């Protein structure tokens, strides 16, 4: 019997005791139909998520990075079943929730919550801040009204807001305060996993640091797991334990943050890291990777490796055969034909550069 990719990554290796991850996603796909014409005929599909597999253990943070439009946010929404997956499986503590309907998903809604990107659009302007944070408690029938008010007041204090602000409305708060309300709402049901969909990208830099530190403190206190979607590598490096790099709907590299920043094994990861601002003295010693061309359309993605149209190392095999996400070095996974044979090598080394046209 074959072992799903996410489960293979979760296990420590041959003979190691099996660890069941809190969340395991195997070959997840999400396609959106393109409807045209008077009769709403489907003329194509947007391949937003194309065979993504990963796992998250209890108390762990997985950072998901990539360019805008690569499918990061869609992964988060699909694994929470805010969007129905097209294919693949989603397991919570070993239980397959992929096919569950809305009623059967209710118990899992308590365990899986989300912090949205835009603190201005994710809060109902007609509800007070206290009503917003307390709404999950009402929906799930947790406690009496007095207990719910006490719980909301406690959550306000925990995220750094005064309980007196419970009666205020969203327009009366700053951006950072609104995001704290969103975090309090996500915490209301005592979840085990929180998906953060770029939770600090809409905030000022000084406020970003406060929110990131708050998330880390909450993780330590409540033993939370995070899937943190972001495009800011500095934020991801600060908060994540492991990082998965996405390109055009696929995960192309996944490892712990130290390994990724020290030696990226995929050309796209190399290009992303080369664009991170660093002090001028260090920048003189670093080779900047400039990608040519534009990101292909997810409506008609290129065959083989999706990145081959922009990759400086691409050869004939890349244009026809999809590279598998495999363990190139211990706990370092990459989807690149450059590492199909032999030990993992830094991409900057001449040995890692194939001759043009080589198969």
Residue 302 lies inside a defined structural domain of this protein = no
Residues 6+ apart with CB under 8 A from 137: 143, 148, 151, 152, 188, 189
Residues composing the chain: 359
Quick check: 199 and 210 in contact, CB under 8 A?
no
Residue 291 lies inside a defined structural domain of this protein = no
Predicted local distance difference test score (pLDDT) of residue 171 = 95
CA separation for the pair 139, 105 (Å, rounded):
13
Domains: count for the chain: 1
Write out the two tokens for 269: 């990861």
- ∠ CA 6-73-321 to the nearest 5 degrees? 55
Residue 296 lies inside a defined structural domain of this protein = no
Predicted local distance difference test score (pLDDT) of residue 283 = 47
Domain holding 59: CATH number? 3.40.50.300
CA separation for the pair 120, 115 (Å, rounded):
12
Beta carbons within 10 angstroms of residue 22's beta carbon: 20
- What is the percent of the chain where pLDDT is above 70? 86
Mean pLDDT along residues 279-293: 62
Coil/strand/helix, residue 45: strand
Quick check: 40 and 57 in contact, CB under 8 A?
no
Mean pLDDT along residues 216-238: 92
CA separation for the pair 19, 38 (Å, rounded):
52
Ramachandran area for residue 92 (φ above 0: left; ψ -120 to 50: alpha; else beta): beta
Q: Is the pLDDT of residue 228 over 50?
A: yes
Residue 214 lies inside a defined structural domain of this protein = yes
The listed range with the strongest mean pLDDT (14-28, 137-151, 199-213, 289-303) is 137-151
Residue 301 lies inside a defined structural domain of this protein = no
pLDDT level of residue 1 (50, 70, 90 thresholds): very low
Domain that holds residue 21: 5-263
Predicted local distance difference test score (pLDDT) of residue 277 = 67
pTM (two decimals) = 0.86
pLDDT digits (tens, 9 = 90+) for 29-83: 999 999 887 777 888 899 999 999 999 999 999 999 998 889 999 999 999 999 9
For residue 145, CA distances in Å to 127, 131, 151, 169, 297 come to 17, 12, 10, 20, 50
Residue 340 lies inside a defined structural domain of this protein = no
CA separation for the pair 8, 279 (Å, rounded):
39
Residue 251 lies inside a defined structural domain of this protein = yes
Closest CA to 65 of 255, 225, 224: 255
Residue 353 lies inside a defined structural domain of this protein = no
Write out the two tokens for 282: 């260090």
Predicted local distance difference test score (pLDDT) of residue 47 = 92
Write out the two tokens for 61: 């943070």
């Amino acid at each position: 019997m074959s072992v799903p990719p996410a489960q293979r990554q979760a296990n420590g290796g041959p003979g190691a005791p099996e660890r069941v991850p809190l969340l395991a996603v195997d070959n997840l796909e999400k396609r959106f139909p393109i409807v045209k014409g008077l009769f709403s005929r489907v003329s194509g599909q947007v391949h937003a998520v194309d065979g993504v597999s990963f796992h998250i253990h209890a108390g762990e943070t997985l950072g998901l990075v990539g360019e805008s439009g690569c499918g990061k946010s869609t992964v988060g929404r699909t694994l929470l079943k805010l969007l129905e997956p097209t294919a693949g499986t989603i397991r919570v503590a070993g239980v397959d929730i992929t096919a569950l309907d809305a009623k059967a998903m209710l118990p899992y809604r308590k365990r899986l919550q989300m912090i949205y990107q835009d603190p201005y659009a994710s809060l109902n302007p007609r509800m007070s801040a206290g009503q917003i944070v307390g709404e999950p408690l009402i929906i799930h029938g947790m406690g009496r009204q007095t207990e719910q008010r006490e719980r909301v007041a406690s959550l306000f204090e925990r995220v750094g807001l005064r309980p007196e602000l419970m009666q205020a409305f969203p327009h009366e708060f700053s951006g950072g305060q609104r995001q704290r309300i969103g975090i309090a709402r996500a915490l209301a049901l005592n979840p085990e996993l929180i998906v953060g969909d770029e939770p600090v990208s809409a905030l000022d830099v000084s406020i970003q640091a406060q929110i990131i530190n708050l998330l880390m403190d909450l993780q330590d206190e409540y033993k939370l797991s995070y899937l943190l979607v972001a495009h800011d590598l500095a934020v991801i490096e600060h908060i994540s334990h492991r990082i998965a790099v996405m390109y055009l709907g696929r995960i192309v590299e996944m490892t712990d943050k130290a390994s990724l920043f020290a030696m990226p094994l995929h050309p796209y990861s190399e290009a992303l890291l080369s664009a991170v601002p660093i002090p001028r003295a260090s920048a003189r010693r670093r080779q900047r990777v400039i990608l040519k061309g534009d990101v292909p359309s997810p409506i008609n993605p290129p065959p083989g490796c999706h990145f081959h149209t922009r990759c400086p190392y691409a050869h004939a095999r890349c244009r026809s055969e999809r590279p598998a996400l495999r363990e190139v070095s211990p706990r370092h996974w990459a989807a690149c034909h450059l590492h199909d044979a032999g030990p993992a090598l830094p991409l900057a080394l001449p040995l890692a550069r194939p001759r043009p046209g080589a198969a």
